[in-house]
Amino acid sequence: MLYGEPSKKVNIGSSFNSIPFVVIDSAFSAVSDTIVLPYTLVMQANKGSIKVN
């Protein structure tokens, strides 16, 4: 395989029902950021910053 011919197929990465996983992952990331970030901001405003050494 080291000296094999290159693939003639276009490689867009892994996909699910012809939707690239990067699109699916980006959608889940956007939704989770929209949900988690406001909670994080409220908790930090209430409890203050984390104390680091």
- Measured CA to CA, the distance from residue 28 to residue 35 in angstroms comes to 11
- Assigned domain for 48 exists: no
**How many structural domains is the chain composed of?**
1
- The answer on pLDDT for 29 being more than 90 is yes
Instruction: Answer whether residue 39 is part of any domain.
Output: yes
Residue 28 — pLDDT band, cuts 50, 70, 90? very high
Domain range for 21 is 17-43
Q: Is residue 38 part of a domain?
A: yes
E strand map for 1-53: 15-16, 19-20
Domain contains 26:
yes
What residues pair up with 19 in beta bridges, in sequence order?
16
Residue 27 resides in a domain: yes
Task: Express each pLDDT in 9-27 by its tens digit.
Answer: 777 678 888 888 889 999 9
For the segment 36-51, the average pLDDT, to the nearest whole number, is 90
Burial of 44 (0-12, 13-18, 19+ CB in 10 A): exposed
DSSP state of 18: T
Give percent of the chain with pLDDT exceeding 90: 38
Going by pLDDT thresholds of 50, 70 and 90, the confidence category of residue 36 is: very high
